[in-house]
Amino acid sequence: MKQDPSPSQTTEQFTDPIVPLDTISEHLASGDNEAVKADLVLLHPGELAFILESSAPEIRQRLWSLIPAELEGDILPSLHEKVRSSIINTMEDSAVVAAATMMETNDLAEVIEDLSDNLSEFVLNSLDDDHRLRLEANMAYADGTAGRLMTTDVISVRADVTLAVVLRYLRRYPSLPKYTDNLMVTNEQGIFLGTISVGDAVTGNPEDTVEKAMHLLADWITADGSEQQVAEKFERRDLISLAVVDDDKKLLGRITVDEAINIIRTQADHSILASAGLNKEEDLFAPVIPSVLRRGLWLGINLVTVFLAAWVIGRFEEALDKIVALAVLMPIVASMGGIAGGQTLTLTIRAISLGQISSTNLRWLTNKELAVGLVNGIGWSIVVALVTYFWFQQLGIALIIAAAMTLNLVAAALSGVAIPVILDRLGIDPAISGAVVLTTVTDIIGFLSFLGLATLFLL
């Protein structure tokens, strides 16, 4: 198979990130553009992408203008979507085309979606026939699938040839594609049969056939496999590369470890940001108005849930008027439930994302978390009851807050498992909405149990 166009510069010529962001900022502040250029050329494209994402918009544009044009094709695919779009919007069409022609096929398939229809067509027309055909093949697969992530930058060999033939074949390449740990083995029809490691090909008996030295149980994935399946295979099996095949198991390309790392990183970012109701491509240095609009939705949703909790409190106005200690202690019950439920919620969402929860273990997990909630509830309710008694000298209130806390921690544990599982089965991302629902549940149960028990036994 043919290789993708080689990037204009290889990563080997770059040093480790020895130039800190503060140093570049100092040179920018002093107006010494030549010093900034000297700083930037020392860095790997991935580090340059990090610096651009870590800069305010006006600084970001200035830095981009000082980056050598031959590095732009390596940097753009490494940027988050929002940052990349903001930079592309300031570039001349000819500069975008020049950068695009230097990108590998799978990177270009991602970047080209950020371009306008006219510009993307301009880029396609500027590619050579081979590059354009491979790009169109990538883009034929849905976003988030293995087919979209794969590269055709792969070396395949026939199973019936000798290792001596393989070595002669490899010497025809000026260099092996990056992350080439294995050669893909196919038959005459291009059907994937397995892999042979480069080490075995080099050190094996030259008279042996590839079939004798190959790994028959090599990992592979179909082109319509999901990003999640790709990440799981790389994570669980310590892969460097993974063969991609069609439904008939014909070899299409491969996915390399750098793409897998990007998937895992993106999923981690998504989990962190989604828990706060933010988009996975949230730009830290985005303008004020877009940031307000993105975040305001979840503030509004949270406000509705707060009013719901306040309504519950309002049902016990008489008890609060007569026993002031209830108003003082009330937040403790809800807060402890929220923390305990949040712990369970986080663990459950992570397990769902890793595919660890199924119908066979859900009951066991639920019972285990209920037990944890009960033990924590009893233990901490004793502590809170003792503090309450010494504070207010009222045994009744101490016993009631102990009972309410135990009830709320058990309910929080159950909710922490049930809410993300239910949301996931409804097709709703639990990382985005799970925390809001959980907070509402623990607040309402906490207030209802504490104030309800107080009303029942103390009034």
pLDDT of residue 281: 54
DSSP string, 373-436: HHHHHHHHHHHHHHHHHHHH--HHHHHHHHHHHHHHHHHHHHHHHHHHHHHHHTT--HHHHHHH
pLDDT of residue 237: 87
Provide the b/e sequence for 195-223 (b: ≥16 CB within 10 Å).
Answer: bbbbebbeebeeeebbbebbeeebbbbbb
327 in the same domain as 216: no
Q: Are strands 220-222 and 192-197 parallel, antiparallel or unpaired?
A: unpaired
Query: What is d(CA 23, CA 43) in angstroms, rounded to the nearest whole number?
Result: 13
In the β-sheet with 241-245, what is the strand arrangement from edge to edge? 220-222, 241-245, 251-256
In the β-sheet with 182-186, what is the strand arrangement from edge to edge? 156-158, 182-186, 192-197
Query: What is d(CA 357, CA 369) in angstroms, rounded to the nearest whole number?
Result: 14
Contact indicator for 74, 7 with CB cutoff of 8 Å: yes
391 in the same domain as 344: yes
Domain boundary among the residues 140, 172, 192 is at 140
pLDDT of residue 146: 93
Contact indicator for 414, 442 with CB cutoff of 8 Å: no
Q: What share of the chain is helix, strand, coil (3-state, %, to 5)?
A: 65, 10, 25
**In CATH, what number is assigned to the domain containing residue 81?**
1.25.60.10
Tell me which long-range contacts 378-387 makes (C-beta under 8 A, separation of at least 24). 378/406, 380/336, 380/405, 380/409, 381/405, 381/406, 381/409, 384/332, 384/336
Q: In terms of residue numbers, what domain contains 377? A: 288-458
448 in the same domain as 326: yes
In a domain, 280, yes or no: no
How many domains is the chain built from?
3
DSSP string, 323-389: -HHHHHHHHHHHHHHHHHHHHHHHHHHHHHHTT---TTTHHHHHHHHHHHHHHHHHHHHHHHHHHHH
Query: What is d(CA 231, CA 310) in angstroms, rounded to the nearest whole number?
Result: 43
Q: What is the DSSP-derived secondary structure letter of residue 156?
A: E
pLDDT of residue 78: 87
Instruction: Kindly state the greatest CA–CA separation across the chain.
Output: 94
Question: 194 phi and psi, to 5 degrees?
Answer: 160, -160
In a domain, 355, yes or no: yes
Query: What is d(CA 360, CA 190) in angstroms, rounded to the nearest whole number?
Result: 39
In a domain, 74, yes or no: yes
293 in the same domain as 265: no
The neighbouring-strand residues paired with 195 are 184, 215
Flag residues of the chain having pLDDT under 50. Answer: 1-17
Q: What is the DSSP-derived secondary structure letter of residue 276?
A: T
Query: What is d(CA 257, CA 408) in angstroms, rounded to the nearest whole number?
Result: 45
In a domain, 379, yes or no: yes
**In CATH, what number is assigned to the domain containing residue 179?**
3.10.580.10
172 in the same domain as 116: no
Domain boundary among the residues 106, 140, 174 is at 140
Q: What is the 3-state secondary structure (H, E, C) of 203-218?
A: HCCCCCEHHHHCECCC
Cβ partners under 8 Å of residue 95, min gap 6: 69, 72
165 in the same domain as 135: no
237 in the same domain as 111: no
376 in the same domain as 350: yes
In a domain, 109, yes or no: yes
Contact indicator for 349, 430 with CB cutoff of 8 Å: yes
Tell me which long-range contacts 347-351 makes (C-beta under 8 A, separation of at least 24). 347/416, 348/416, 348/417, 348/420, 348/421, 348/430, 349/271, 349/420, 349/430, 349/431, 349/434, 350/271
Burial (CB count <10 Å: 0-12, 13-18, 19+), residue 451: buried
Domain boundary among the residues 233, 252, 274 is at 274
Query: What is d(CA 250, CA 288) in angstroms, rounded to the nearest whole number?
Result: 50
Query: What is d(CA 269, CA 125) in angstroms, rounded to the nearest whole number?
Result: 35
pLDDT in tens, 424-446: 898 888 877 788 889 889 999 99
pLDDT of residue 20: 65
342 in the same domain as 370: yes
Question: 157 phi and psi, to 5 degrees?
Answer: -130, 160
In a domain, 3, yes or no: no
Cα–Cα distance list, 134 to 100, 121, 253 (Å): 14, 15, 10
In angstroms and rounded to an integer, the radius of gyration of the C-alpha atoms of the chain is 29
292 in the same domain as 238: no
Q: Which two tokens stand for residue 433?
A: 């909405």
Q: Among 38, 112, 30, which Cα is nearest to 73's?
A: 112
Provide the b/e sequence for 311-329 (b: ≥16 CB within 10 Å).
Answer: ebbeebeebbeebebbeeb
In a domain, 151, yes or no: no
pLDDT of residue 358: 84
Q: What is the DSSP-derived secondary structure letter of residue 140?
A: T
Q: Which two tokens stand for residue 299?
A: 């503030």
Token pair 């080439």 is at which residue?
180
372 in the same domain as 439: yes
In a domain, 2, yes or no: no
**In CATH, what number is assigned to the domain containing residue 419?**
1.10.357.20
329 in the same domain as 394: yes
